[in-house]
Structure 1
Amino acid sequence: MRKRSLANSDSSPAPEADRQFVTALSRGLEVLRCFRPRDRMGLSNRELAERTGLPNSTVSRLTYTLLQTGYLLYDEQTGRYRIGVPALSLGFACLGSMPIREAAKEHMQRLADYAGDGVQVALGARDDHTVTYLACARSEQGMMSLQLGVGSRISLARSAMGRAYIAGCPPEERAEILETLALHHGPERWPGILEGIKDAERQIAEKGFYGNYGDWHEGVHSIAVPFPTPGDANPDLALNLGGPAPFLTRERMENDLAPKLLEVANALRLHAIQV
């Protein structure tokens, strides 16, 4: 099993030319991927069509099928769909299949407690042009700064975690990611975003970590390290520490917290090799 199916690579035919590729299944999964935690009221067929780029008629057939199988629920009063319970089982199955996630929790919590109020430590993996949180830890005492949890998706192109992931992934995947992101963000925004991605690559090559100071969200400082995992069946990951800028000064991030985040990454790499 490959970690990532590279549609544009020489060894992978385009989906429409691949006789093993089931287009209907792919489209159904794209509909499920449209739902986000903030979609509390659900999504209509029209909104799903806008997010997927599929025709309304195709989306209607897909939502009907997903409704019949329980993966979607339908509210007749609002005309909107919500994710059904069977989809939740897929998420827990995914998390349960990652031993590294359980091993990371103790290390992450210890670092979050050391860092203090408002700081969050997270472990994430790529999901198309986003990064999905697989585990996170906050200080047991103090305020909550970043309202993000397991399952939250953040920008692959602009966040510290996303840029660290890009810097640490194989060259073929990096090329595919950059091509996809360029199309997603458009010609006006892409040059500036690409410079940030290249800066992350330079920082990681020089220091082992990447510091993002307000480029993702104003007032938020973050540091991140890539965490490639052994074996094709394990997704590559990235570790991140972030919080309010006034509390996490650049000096503290660079000299105090970044070395500790690297220690966590090194401990997890050793664990991954031994498992």
Structure 2
Amino acid sequence: MDPLARASAADRLMEANRTGIPIAPLSESHSGMTIDDAYAIQLLQVDALQAQGRSVRGHKVGLTNSRVQAQLGVNQPDYGHLLDDYFYPEHLPIPVVRFLQPRIEPEIAFVLRAPLSGPGVTVVQALAAVDYVLPALEIVDSRIDDWRITIVDTIADNASSGALVLGSKPTLVSELDLRLAGCALFQNGSVAATGAGGAVLGSPVNALVWLANTLGALGIALQPGHVVLTGAVTPMVGVGPGDTITASFTGLGSVTARFTQETT
């Protein structure tokens, strides 16, 4: 794709976000679209939002589950940016009208205490940069009609980011074996899904290593205080007004998101 085509695709995604009207997959209108094109389109949107006064507060890693990778025909994760207004306090109402096609998934989040920059970051170095771990719920959303996404569609759409809720109980990473951290996802009091940290590239730490090395190759370092969402530990579920979602993690505690139709 040439620069004009990339800029047009970025504009279409931002317009979809403004209007609440999803667009057809970019992969259909740009048959030769590559992963490099998709990340360039993502960054055009992030740059535009930062120019409007928004700020990046972290990153998310997606496509960390082998079954999801198989569905999209890829063998690698992807990443997106977490902006300042993506963060919702636990238990306070989240307006569903902000989103187009919201779904939710439980994740393990790292909060960094030191910068982390690849390439060449190891598991030991990644763990040393972590301040603490939190349970998290990521609200994923798609500006692509009916979630008809390929790998390039979701990357261009900021890895289908929507918002997130972090739990309020920090835990030191040294106190956990994150591979074995079990999770039960409750929707309105009923179990909707179960999983464990090992579903995320074998361990959520591997997602952090992958992100640090992938961004490092682009000259980008993860920053102290930033949040890294490491990927879903269970399948995602749809949400609507009135839903209450709780993720309960072994050793990490729980986190709850509550959804409302109201705008405030």
Q: TM-score, structure 2 length as denominator? A: 0.25
Which structure: greater strand fraction? 2
Larger RCO (alpha carbons 8 Å, 6+ apart): 2
Which structure: greater helix fraction? 1
